[in-house]
Amino acid sequence: MTDKSLELASLLCSRLCHDMLSPVGALSNGLELLADEKDPEMRQRCFELLEQSARISTDKLKFFRLAFGAAGGFGEMVAVDEARSVVDALLSNNERITVNWALSTSELPKAAIKVLLNLAQIGMDALVRGGTLDIGAELREGASEIVVRASGPKIAFDANIGKALDGTMAPQDLSSRTAAAHMLHKLAHRAGGGIQFAKSGDALVMGAVLPQG
């Protein structure tokens, strides 16, 4: 593994730890409250909060395992239903975002699944006031084609994430916030394709083509 690969892995780990801190911290706080609480009604409320935090933690871990890890089995192809289920699970905890799917294939290469999931995550993060997330994917003549559109009253999109996506960000400028986008650029480039994006006042559209993956 090269020094650049180690640095990217370190930044990705930092991002995952940051995203897991909130639900895991909520579990810890809930256990502390439960230990001191004597009122039956409040104890029941604590159990409900613990259950919610545990579910969110599990959903995030399942998403990260497929988006960054080696989940999906030992083959080269992954069922798109796996990707859909982890995104739907994450959004089940967010009533402000509605997700629509347009999937014309039952499976995609692992690299394409990672691109789909990470673009979906960028789209979710962009919808700071809620909105609609449209996700489409197809496999045409061996090439994976993916599109994600986030639309809502306010779109938050860091310009540095855009630079990481299109490969114009210098490696030394990467951060835990942009590491995943840089990984997507590398995956698409390795497959002989690329990633494009366009942002307007009420929408962010991202597309990827991976001819070999």
Orientation angle between helical segments 110-126 and 40-68, nearest 10 degrees: 130
36 — pLDDT class (breaks 50, 70, 90)? confident
Q: What is the DSSP letter of 152?
A: S
Q: Which residue has the tokens 């997330």?
A: 133
Asked whether residue 73 carries a pLDDT value surpassing 60, the answer given is no
Q: How far is CA 66 from CA 111, 121, 133, 142, 200, in A?
A: 10, 12, 19, 22, 30
14 — pLDDT class (breaks 50, 70, 90)? confident
Q: What is the pLDDT of residue 2?
A: 61
Counting residues of the chain whose pLDDT is more than 70, the rounded percentage is 95
- Residues 157-167 have a mean pLDDT of 94
Tell me the per-residue pLDDT of 171-191, one tens digit each, with 9 for 90 and over: 888 898 999 999 999 999 999
Asked whether residue 78 carries a pLDDT value surpassing 70, the answer given is yes
CA nearest to 83, candidates 54, 62, 99, 100: 62
Asked whether residue 204 carries a pLDDT value surpassing 80, the answer given is yes
3 — pLDDT class (breaks 50, 70, 90)? low
Residue 194's CB is within 10 A of a number of other CB atoms, namely 16
- Give the lowest-confidence range in 69-73, 75-79, 195-199: 69-73
Complete domains list, the chain, with CATH: 3-210 (3.30.565.10)
Q: What is the pLDDT of residue 137?
A: 97
Question: Which distant-in-sequence residues (6+ apart) come within 8 Å of 35 by Cβ?
Answer: none
Asked whether residue 71 carries a pLDDT value surpassing 70, the answer given is no
- Residues 116-122 have a mean pLDDT of 97
State the pTM of this model: 0.88
Q: What is the pLDDT of residue 74?
A: 56
CA nearest to 139, candidates 115, 119, 165, 166: 115
Name which residue leads in pLDDT, 199 or 14. Answer: 199
* Residue-wise DSSP of 85-123: HHHHHHHTT-TTEEEEEEE--SEEEHHHHHHHHHHHHHH
